[in-house]
Amino acid sequence: MIQVNQLTKQFGGAVVVKDLSFEVAAGAVLGFLGPNGAGKSTTMKMLTGFLAPSSGSAKINGFDIQSERQAAQAEIGYLPEGAPCYEEMTVYRFLHFIAEIRGFRGREIAHSIDRVLERVSLNAVLDQRIETLSKGFKRRVGLAQALIHDPRVLILDEPTDGLDPNQKHQVREMIRSLSDEKIVIISTHILEEVSAVCSRAMIINKGEIVMDNTPEALAELAPEHESVSLMIQDLDPQEVASALSLLPESDRVVLDPDGRVTVFPKSIGSPLLGAVQSLVAAHEWRVVSMVQHRGQLDAVFRAATEGGA
């Protein structure tokens, strides 16, 4: 359980994070979304005890990040932005160091490393210096060090940034595979990532939460949600459009130059698709294509953060 209460951070005169309050329960994968400079990283730095908040508080599984910093930090596995680590060390020595700092002793150290290697495949490069590794492997080293103590809270700052599509997929699979009782917070500006792994998405803009819901619920806010596009053969699209605009469920109709007609519903959950189908049947139109759209986070994100940093 993470409890954040009116967390605020100012740098000089600028307020980077403003009165942030939220709770995350075990089992949640929370995605922080926001344009660059929205305060995602700063929030994560405060949650992990790297930055002291200007005001407000955060509790990690009951431990206050300021007054009980070490106890709180022991609960957390953290991947800072860009996955920094001690590059002159070999992967094995580095993980060994982290395991020792995390309190493992003797044989436990090897066990903890073995356990993390089952999740994050690094076996091939264990004895290589980290500075010689590719970006994908470096990111994996960063993930491995965050996971080594099997933390109950995982905070990952842009875990897939700069990875190729395969590597992104692997990291997402890994995040999904983390057991249900953990809390995972990831920050990203890749929207598909949120839909792919998060159970909850929080859009942050200029240091404030502007939206907080499941990715599906957020996507439903997109104007194109449940709109229907269709193409009819051998018929003037203008005629189709005017017929569609007469439907009681139709809010507005948009005509594309390629002849595709899209009708937007008045409200979510309206029987627009059924109405369009009846209309098609009644006129005996020959349908080339008919698609009902699902809302995309992109549009919601842009609407919520437009004019942002």
**Contact residues for other proteins, defined by CB under 8 A:** 11-12, 45, 48-52, 70-71, 73-74, 76, 78, 80-82, 84-89, 93, 97-98, 100-103, 105, 129, 145
Min dist CB 101 to other proteins, Å, is: 5
- Tell the smallest beta-carbon distance from residue 90 to other proteins (Å): 9
Measured from the CB atom, the residue of 79 and 209 that comes closer to other proteins is 79
Query: Residue holding tokens 């029987």?
Result: 271
Nearer to other proteins, 69 or 302 (CB): 69
CA distance 87 to 296: 39
Alpha helices in 12-67 (DSSP H): 40-47
Residue 122 or 263 with smaller CB distance to other proteins: 122
In the complex with other proteins, which residue's Cβ is closer, 76 or 244?
A: 76
* Residues facing residue 8 across a β-bridge: 55
| Full DSSP string of 213-263 | E-HHHHHTTSTTTT-EEEEETTS-HHHHHHHHHTSTTEEEEEE-TTS-EEE
Q: Which is nearer to other proteins, 60 or 209 (CB)?
A: 60
Biggest CA–CA distance in the chain, Å, is: 79
CB of 52 to other proteins, least distance (A): 7
Give the nearer residue to other proteins in terms of CB position, either 52 or 287: 52
CB of 94 to other proteins, least distance (A): 9
The least distance separating other proteins from the CB of residue 277, rounded to whole angstroms, comes to 56
Quote the radius of gyration of the chain (alpha carbons, Å): 24
**Least distance (Å) between residue 197 CB and other proteins:** 23
Q: How far is the CB of 193 from other proteins (least distance, A)?
A: 22
CA dist., res. 165 & res. 147, Å (int)? 22
Cβ closest to other proteins, residue 98 vs residue 209: 98
Distance separating alpha carbons of residues 28 and 25, to the nearest angstrom = 6
Other C-beta atoms closer than 10 Å to the C-beta of 66 total 15
- Reported as half-sphere exposure (CB side, CA atoms, 13 A), residue 16 has a value of 18
- The b/e string for 187-222 (b: 16+ C-beta within 10 A; e otherwise) is bbbebebbbbbbebbbbbbbbebbbeeebeebbbbb
**CB burial class (10 A; 0-12, 13-18, 19+) of residue 43?**
buried
